[in-house]
Structure 1
């Protein structure tokens, strides 16, 4: 976790240094050439460093240790950093669109000197390289803030490149596409800004577990000899590196409490060491042998599994003392009236065991 944050901070410092050096270069050239436009562009580069500053602040704050009010730590602060940067990108796109529309309605002929074109070209190259580097690092480190910061630099370069291209077309063919090209690129940036907002917001709201991670966890837990089924996997994100959740496993009812205790310890240790997941393991007992419990389990499970609208049946429990049985189901996502389905299933099972109390618990699939 610490190493990851150090890489995020180092990448952000590279972004700040690049923007400051570029701003210094533009300022020097602008002052020597008495170009207000170049000097103002230098100021813009300083403001671009803000994304990197926000990323650093977010990474630093996310490292704060858990306290009484925040027992799961401060990892989710990274998501807020990404949201702020995404808003900056979105604002840039909207501002650019407004200016582009103005140019469409009232075209102006761009004025570029040779020196200005050289400075702008250098700035574009630096921004493209910087943006690609920061974004790539963000993808490797799974940092939405770095990805958004890198995208911010790339979009800045694209906007400048579009201005340069439109200026060249204007000078060569006397055709003004500055406003139109700017509007098209602005729309792309606005859409990208919205997409950037989606990822951290979904993380804060609670997104589903990626299918790849789900399959890996189920496979790893299923590899334990005593496990005969993995169910009810739930994970909560408290930052990119902190996950807390629970799952259930099937074991034979012949296992002792001591053996079950050992099994759950081994499962929790494995998932923490391999994925950094703090997991709670629940137990479902599979009835074995020739007895009333095993007979009821077979009858009820087969009856429920025959329904196409049911994705999964598990967690069968029978209490001879209370004369009741309980079983969990996972309905298909297309089932909208779960209460009606549950009532229908209870009535169906009661026909098979009319002398017993029947309880059907509806679970949900929290994975992709």
Structure 2
């Protein structure tokens, strides 16, 4: 199903602002709970929520930029703003994970043993519930509109829910007397954040490096293109992703005898079909190449016709302007036949009938058009 740019931006804006405000209140609550309740795990979780605020702002900004129309400096549009935003989100998460890992490991190896209060435990429970619901909502919008930056934010929300689970286990264990579990949970939270950062980093780098789209998508392009009868062969298919849009560069072979106008019509037909059948198509570039196999086949047929004419040389003086053209699915051969001046119309007609019959015997799908002229 296709959606307008306006609807895509409006939904992305709503989900981004929803995430920003929820993360704002959660971050304040969890950082306060971590400091007041003396929990390293909850403090790490709170800073993770703080990073989500920056991620949400980056997502919102990138979606807005990506909707800008093509201009002279950006002939392919601004779609890669979403990939750049996803890359920045991954860097924020990776940096945050390194800082939090250092703090947690420092507490573990220095054997700092503090029993967390009850408030961090409640903060973890509330965070798990809220962030899981926010993940499901954000993921739904990201998949619906195929928005990489929104999907990156959704992954971040899921990571936050999972890190809150780890924090909950660590805090509960520390309150039961296993005080090392709280900083250990803080370290586990940092590892979760690091993994999500890597998961977001990979696809954003692939898009920025113009990595080809999946093989099944390319196969569908080939299948649709070859369904058009005039396309003889596909020479090359290049694809890449530009933000939420897919770009296609396609080279196809058609009959070498077709006119430029007919080639242009086939190109438009291919483009229209791809836009109708494939999702989120932006730029389509189609290169029309003359079929070399068609030229070889045409030369072979001309040799057959020339041989037949040579076999009938005693019946006419000469021939010239022999050529083959294609009219849709039909092939036609044209030739000028030079006959003796004193030959009767009936004899001329008989010669032409014999030639047409012999040519059609060898080339049954041909229409033979002979122009007779006196020597």
Asked if TM exceeds 0.5, the reply is yes
Counterpart secondary structure, 1:237: strand
Q: CA deviation at 1:181?
A: 4.2
Of 135, 160, 183, 1:156 maps to 160
Alignment of 1:119-198 (within 5 A): 119-174=123-178, 176-198=180-202
Q: CA deviation at 1:12?
A: 0.7
Distance 2:111 2:241 in 1: 50
Gaps of 5+ in 2: 304-375
Gaps of 5+ in 1: 296-368
RMSD of Structure 2 on Structure 1 (CA)? 3.2
Of 278, 286, 290, 2:284 maps to 278
1:272/1:279 contact within 8 Å kept? no
2:105/2:187 contact within 8 Å kept? yes
Tell me which residue corresponds to 1:13.
17
Of 216, 222, 225, 2:229 maps to 225
Tell me which residue corresponds to 1:81.
85
Q: TM-score, normalised by structure 1?
A: 0.68
1:252-303: per-residue Cα shift (whole Å, max 9, x none)? 33434432232122112222344424222322313264635999xxxxxxxx
Q: CA deviation at 1:24?
A: 6.9
Distance 1:23 1:262 in 2: 58
Moved over 6 A (4+): 24-27, 36-44
Distance 1:280 1:167 in 2: 60
Tell me which residue corresponds to 1:4.
8
Q: Does 1:249 align with 2:252?
A: yes
Q: Count residues in correspondence.
A: 290
Q: More displaced, 2-11 or 130-139?
A: 130-139
Structure showing greater Rg: 2
2:166/2:188 contact within 8 Å kept? no
1:128-178: per-residue Cα shift (whole Å, max 9, x none)? 322343234323433222222222233333333323212222333536233
Q: TM-score, normalised by structure 2?
A: 0.67
Tell me which residue corresponds to 2:347.
none
